[in-house]
Amino acid sequence: MEHHTHTQTAQPLLSRGLVAVLIAQFLSAFADNAILVGALKLVMTLATEKGMDAVLQGSFVLPYILLAPFVGLLADGMPKGRVMWLANSIKLVSGIGMLLVAWYGSQQALILVIAAYVLTGIGAAIYSPAKYGILTQLCGPAHLVKANGMMEGSTIVAILLGFVCGGLLADVSLTGLLVLVTCCYALAVGLSLLIPRLPVVHGFTGAALPAMVKDFAGAVATLLRDRKARTSLLGTSLFWGSGSTLRLVLFAWVPFTLGLTDTSAATNLGGVVSVGIIVGAGLAGALIRLEHAGRALWAGLLIGAPLLFMGLTTQLWQAGALLIALGAAAGFFVVPLNALLQDRGQATVGAGHAIAVQNFCENLLIAAFVGVHYVASQFLDPAQEVFAFGVLLMLIMGLLFVSYRRGRRHDVVADAA
């Protein structure tokens, strides 16, 4: 595995390149979440059998898992701005495809909706290593946590607005929603061209499929051997795996516990979590430096705690307050760990490789957590499941915390010796 070093030029945090990255990311994330609403609306309209919404979700996650060995090589083997342009172009094609289905769709068009959403997943899988990996080149260690906070915060805002606006527009005009999505992707494609052409930091000369898989497996092994990278990898994967599952659990919990049958109640609670994440991400960016990223694990211990008290709530505002606290702990937890993974990845396998491995692990955990949710829902009512989910999160985060602390003590003893 060959590495190429480069010199980071000192520049302010909000350089032209970073601004272009942040705006393109916002538009792309907004469209990613709005197109999900549009795709679900199309599936509900076109499908007669149950479970097609799960197939739709799987069609987005699957490219992340299958392409994981290759997207890191692509992100590190090309200027990352050009990789972002390619990914947004693929998403643009998916938006156009979904729009055509909405205009001319029929019963047979269901497979086209799934195919278009697969393209969205492919674009997102390619995009993710580049969008985070580019921060190490645009910012440097001094601004990396703050840049991650801005990226994470703006992404959460985009996710929230994408869902809210998507839901509102889908009820008024599905075609209008998909036109907006397509325009957002087109703008993101244009903005990607404004990102400076940065050096290739981990050149790849080309190889056969087995060599690519071996290279990816080597990156996984390298990161798992590095204590800090391993902790970050597991922590961020837990964040996304648990967050994706919590969204599903809330849709069952709200009508069961609060007696509210409208969909907006559950989506509003999901939005409240996002608000908390934004607050926590901002605090982490302001308070935690890269060399102290391990301190974020304390916040991880608090993520599951609010879920233990959800069964005591009788009002929507009470649940919202608990979920704001959960989101704040989660945001404070994930941002420094993201920065830590990028830093360790840049020093070992390349930042793009590291984010590709992260995406692979995250989506494996999403699949695993959703599987656990499916099994639990067969035996527990929604209130019991939320409580059990909180206990599970606290247990896993506790094990991660203890493992990190033990490894840190071992490093101190080794250095002293």
Give yes or no: residues 145 and 247 share one domain: no
Highest-confidence segment of 56-60, 129-133, 142-146, 305-309 = 305-309
Residue 134 covered by a domain: yes
Per-residue H/E/C for 30-83 = HHHHHHHHHHHHHHHHHCCCCCHHHHHHHHHHHHHHHCHHHHHHHHHHCCHHHH
Q: Which of 128-132, 149-153, 188-192 has the highest mean pLDDT?
A: 188-192
Kindly list the distances between the CA atom of residue 298 and the CA atoms of 13, 221, 234, 303, 402, in Å, as whole numbers in the listed order.
Answer: 28, 26, 15, 10, 11
- Residues 292 and 337 both lie in one domain: yes
* Phi-psi map region of 4: left, alpha, beta (phi>0 left; psi -120 to 50 alpha): beta
Q: Is the pTM of this model over 0.75?
A: no
User: Based on the domain organization, do 172 and 254 belong to the same domain?
Assistant: no
Domain boundary, last residue among 169, 202, 235: 202
Contact 64, 125 (CB under 8 A): yes
Dist CA 186 CA 24 (whole Å): 10
d(CA 267, CA 247): 8
- Give the residue ranges of DSSP H helices in 254-315: 263-287, 297-300, 305-308
Q: Can you tell me the distance from the alpha carbon of 143 to that of 309, in angstroms, rounded to the nearest whole number?
A: 37
The per-residue pLDDT for 87 is 92
Q: Same structural domain for residues 29 and 114?
A: yes
Whether 224 is in a domain gets the answer: yes
Is the pLDDT at 122 greater than 90, yes or no?
Answer: yes
> Is there a single domain that holds both residue 268 and residue 415?
yes
Mean pLDDT of all residues in the chain?
79
Q: Are 241 and 396 in contact (CB under 8 A)?
A: no
**Domain span at residue 377?**
219-417
The residue out of 175, 202, 229 marking a domain boundary is 202
Q: State whether 60 and 161 are in the same domain.
A: yes
Q: 210 lies in a domain?
A: no
Do both 264 and 297 map to the same domain? yes
In a domain, 80, yes or no: yes
Q: What is the DSSP letter of 303?
A: S
Does residue 30 form part of some domain? yes
Biggest alpha carbon–alpha carbon distance for the chain = 72
Same domain, yes or no, for 59 and 114?
Answer: yes
Shared domain for 257 and 161, answered yes or no, is: no
Q: Quick: pLDDT tens for 32-64.
A: 988 987 887 787 778 666 556 667 777 888 888
Q: Would you place residue 415 in the very low, low, confident or very high pLDDT band (cuts 50, 70, 90)?
A: very low
User: How far is 197 from 251, CA to CA, in rounded Å?
Assistant: 44
The reply to whether 115 and 247 lie within a common domain is: no
CATH number at residue 36: 1.20.1250.20
Indicate the residue among 168, 202, 236 that finishes a domain: 202
Tokens of 109: 């068009």
Q: Which DSSP string corresponds to 135-194?
A: HHHHT-HHHHHHHHHHHHHHHHHHHHHHHHHHHHHHHH-HHHHHHHHHHHHHHHHHHHTT
Residues 6+ apart with CB under 8 A from 246: 273, 389
Shared domain for 233 and 117, answered yes or no, is: no
* 187 plus 323 within the same structural domain: no
Please state which of the ranges 203-207, 254-258, 353-357, 384-388 shows the lowest mean pLDDT: 203-207
Domain count across the chain:
2
CB 61 within 8 A of CB 367: yes
What integer is the mean pLDDT of 98-120?
Answer: 83
**Residue for token digits 């709005």?**
34
Residues ≥6 apart with Cβ < 8 Å to 12? none
Backbone phi and psi for residue 259, each to the nearest 5 degrees, phi listed first: 75, 20
In a domain, 327, yes or no: yes
Q: Is the confidence at residue 12, as pLDDT, over 70?
A: no
Residues composing the chain: 417
- Within-domain flag for 207: no
Confidence of residue 220 (pLDDT cuts 50, 70, 90): confident
Q: Is the residue at 368 inside a domain?
A: yes
At residue 188, the pLDDT reads: 93
